[in-house]
Amino acid sequence: MSEPLGLFGGTFDPVHFGHLRLAEEAIGQLGLGGVCWIPAGHPPHRGPPQVTAEQRLAMVRQATAGNPRFSIDPGEVEASAPSYTVHTLERLRGELGAGQSLVLLVGADAFAGLTTWHRWAELFALAHIAISHRPGFPVEAASLPPELASQFKTRQVSDMAQLKSAPAGRIATFAMTQLAISATQIRKLLSNGLSARYLLPDSVLDYIDLHQLYRNRL
């Protein structure tokens, strides 16, 4: 069986070093063949993003350029319908085949809200889930809604080889370098005319400057 493929969805408004370290460390810690980035087109869970979906996609392209283990799936940005992860996973499962191990990468905050996702319980039939630690968000069953806590307890594995021996259905956690960076913080800095340098790649900041994004808006 080929190496598991990581799938990393997010609003990436904008993409930052917290995202990049999550994807990079997931490859090493989970034994992934690579990570496919999936920028959300029309995120159903939050207010409208600050910039267009195409601009967020362009920033992810800038940030991931030059890393041969990173790829991008623009499917959600190009679709006119709302972005539901379950639909994207169904599509990718169809494209990649039933035997390919897929690992959905999520931060601890995103996982804690999983039960609000469309058809969330079906995600486990389509992919494994790997949860990264994030400052301020504990990864423990006690802090999850009961129905998610029970899935967490039943499916959790500590041996990452288990992500390779089945195509879907297991849950792993991994302790990435803790970076208390958020896109919200970056948008605030930029809208206040402050520097966001060293929180995200220079190439992304150059794109933001060129297109005058995140100015005077929160």
Q: Which is nearer to ligand ATP, 112 or 163 (CB)?
A: 112
> Judged by CB under 6 A, which of 109, 113, 156, 188 binds ligand ATP?
109
Q: Report if residue 50 touches ligand ATP, rule: CB under 6 A.
A: no
Cβ neighbours of 198 (radius 10 Å)? 10
> Judged by CB under 6 A, which of 19, 61, 164, 170 binds ligand ATP?
19
In whole angstroms, how close is the CB of 124 to ligand ATP at the nearest point?
A: 17
Give me the residue label for tokens 């992500």: 163
Q: Strand 102-107 to strand 171-174: parallel, antiparallel, or no bridges (unpaired)?
A: unpaired
Residue whose beta carbon is closest to ligand ATP: 107
Q: Which two tokens stand for residue 183?
A: 């896109």
> Judged by CB under 6 A, which of 27, 36, 104, 110 binds ligand ATP?
110
In whole angstroms, how close is the CB of 27 to ligand ATP at the nearest point?
A: 15
Ordered strands of the 128-132 beta sheet: 70-72, 34-39, 5-10, 102-107, 128-132, 171-174
In whole angstroms, how close is the CB of 1 to ligand ATP at the nearest point?
A: 26
Rg (CA), the chain: 17
CB 176 within 8 A of CB 26: yes
> Judged by CB under 6 A, which of 10, 167, 169, 201 binds ligand ATP?
10
Q: Which of 176, 163, 75, 83 is nearest to 127 (CA)?
A: 163
Restricted to residues 150-179, the positions that interact with ligand ATP (CB under 6 A) are: 179
CB 77 within 8 A of CB 54: yes
Residues near 216 by Cβ (< 8 Å), separated by ≥ 6? 191
In whole angstroms, how close is the CB of 184 to ligand ATP at the nearest point?
A: 3
> Judged by CB under 6 A, which of 26, 72, 139, 181 binds ligand ATP?
181
Restricted to residues 116-135, the positions that interact with ligand ATP (CB under 6 A) are: 132, 134
Residues engaged in binding ligand ATP (CB under 6 A)? 10-13, 18-19, 22, 106-107, 109-110, 132, 134, 179, 181-184
